[in-house]
């Protein structure tokens, strides 16, 4: 039987900030524009049952906006959402973000996107490179922002 699921993984990044700081950055919908070059949160929050509205600035299939359905929001380790993409209603995207504490001041971030539905068989291979770039850029931006926030916090605490 032909599988209608396709998965993309981002690079696993070690981040020099506590998991809580990375989580705070990941779920701070008001400041995505500072660090995410491909995703903007137009309205809403990341909480289970919520449907925040986002727009993608880089994906080739981008529409003006999408409604996400938040499926998991388990601080500070998992944020997962789904999105139904209107390609004849046959494509669903599920994105999961994972934050794993490595120590008190260091963690690891990873993310996956799982496409399902008949359209996944055709669209995923066509968009693989741009989607992979999107995942990796998002992870790199999250890392830079979380480390910057944590570094500024440490500077403030040490100078007080």
- Its pTM stands at 0.87
Q: What is the pLDDT of residue 58?
A: 64
Per-residue pLDDT tens over the stretch 49-84: 999 998 877 655 556 788 899 999 999 999 999 988
For residue 157, give both structure tokens: 């605490």
DSSP state of 90: -
Of 9-13, 86-90, 106-110, 119-123, the least confident: 86-90
Per-residue pLDDT tens over the stretch 12-44: 999 999 999 999 999 999 898 899 887 888 899
Q: What is the pLDDT of residue 70?
A: 95
Q: What is the CATH number of the domain that holds 44?
A: 3.30.530.20
Q: What is the pLDDT of residue 83?
A: 86
Contacts of 157 (CB under 8 A, 6+ apart): none
Q: How many residues does this entry show for the chain?
A: 160
70: enclosing H helix or E strand:
strand 69-74
Q: Which of 23, 2, 43, 35 is nearest to 108 (CA)?
A: 23
| Residue 85 confidence class, pLDDT cut points 50, 70, 90 | confident
| Percent of the chain topping pLDDT 90 | 52
Dmax over CA atoms of the chain, in Å, equals 63
Show the beta-strand stretches assigned E in 3-156. Answer: 5-9, 13-15, 39-43, 53-56, 66-67, 69-74, 78-85, 91-103, 106-116
What is the domain range of residue 132?
A: 5-159
Q: How many domains does the chain have?
A: 1
Per-residue pLDDT tens over the stretch 103-118: 999 999 999 988 888 7
DSSP state of 12: P
Q: What is the pLDDT of residue 2?
A: 57
Q: Is the pLDDT of residue 90 over 80?
A: no
Q: What is the mean pLDDT of residues 134-159?
A: 93
């Amino acid at each position: 039987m032909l599988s209608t699921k396709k998965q993309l993984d981002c690079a696993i990044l070690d981040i020099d900030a506590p998991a809580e700081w990375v989580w705070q950055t990941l779920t701070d919908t008001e400041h995505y524009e500072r660090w995410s070059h491909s995703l903007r949160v137009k309205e809403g929050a990341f909480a289970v049952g919520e449907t925040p509205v986002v727009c993608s600035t880089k994906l080739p299939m981008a529409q003006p906006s999408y409604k996400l359905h938040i499926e998991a929001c388990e601080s500070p380790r998992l944020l997962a959402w789904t999105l139904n993409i209107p390609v004849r209603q046959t494509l669903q995207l599920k994105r999961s973000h994972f934050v794993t504490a490595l120590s008190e001041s260091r963690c690891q971030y990873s993310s996956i996107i799982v496409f399902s539905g008949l359209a996944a068989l055709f669209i995923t291979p066509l968009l693989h490179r741009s989607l992979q770039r999107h995942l990796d850029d998002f992870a790199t931006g999250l890392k830079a922002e979380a480390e910057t926030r944590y570094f500024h916090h440490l500077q403030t605490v040490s100078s007080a």
